[in-house]
Structure 1
Amino acid sequence: MGTETERLQREIKRLIKQLGWSQKRFARELLAMTDEGDCATEDEVGQYEERVKKHLSRSATKPELLQRYLHQLQQHDAFDDLKVVVPYFVPTEGFNMEFVKGMQAISMKLDE
């Protein structure tokens, strides 16, 4: 099943593979979506590529950072071409936490 970090890393890698991108291309696209991307030097772009590549492989990467990468990827124009539906869970007050956690566990197993 894996940790939340591992699950997010797998999901991001799966989506960038579907786009036909390398991890370096993914990093360049992420950087281009930021304000820093407009004025980054080649060295800075290379450093950013390596940093993102490491984030996609290290188990110590924070899930929050990977969630941000995933969100940015979903906002990219090329993502629309994938015709992928991104599920979004909105908790309802009527569900108890045990039920929600059980449903999340089932969802994670289906993702594998």
Structure 2
Amino acid sequence: MRTPRTDHIGVRVTPKERAAIAARSARCGMTPSAYVRESALLRGEPPVRVAGESELRTIHVDLKRIGNNLNQAVRALNARGPEPTTMTLLEHAVRKVSEAAERLSGLLSRASEGR
């Protein structure tokens, strides 16, 4: 359970500083408040959160489905040899693995840009 945030710290910034904070927080997929809070609490280390929970859950579900598809295709390949249906399943699974890897690569790139 989350602890409610009830205390407030006021920080004055110039319009240019506010815009820079907004831009950096947007690149990290965070609100300006969360970005400033995490930046301050990490003592100058940039926040590393680059994906929301829902995005990570989607990738996780996709990877579980892909794993199931690969398992089925490999079983069929071992049982019946390389027939067209099995090869189509394998090609589809490999394509999905590649797509998931690209999504994760993009998240990792965004994380390294924030450092």
TM-score range for the pair, normalised by the shorter chain length: under 0.3
Q: Which has the higher contact order (CA 8 A, sep 6+)?
A: 1
Higher CA-based Rg:
2
**Structure 1 length as normaliser, TM-score?**
0.28
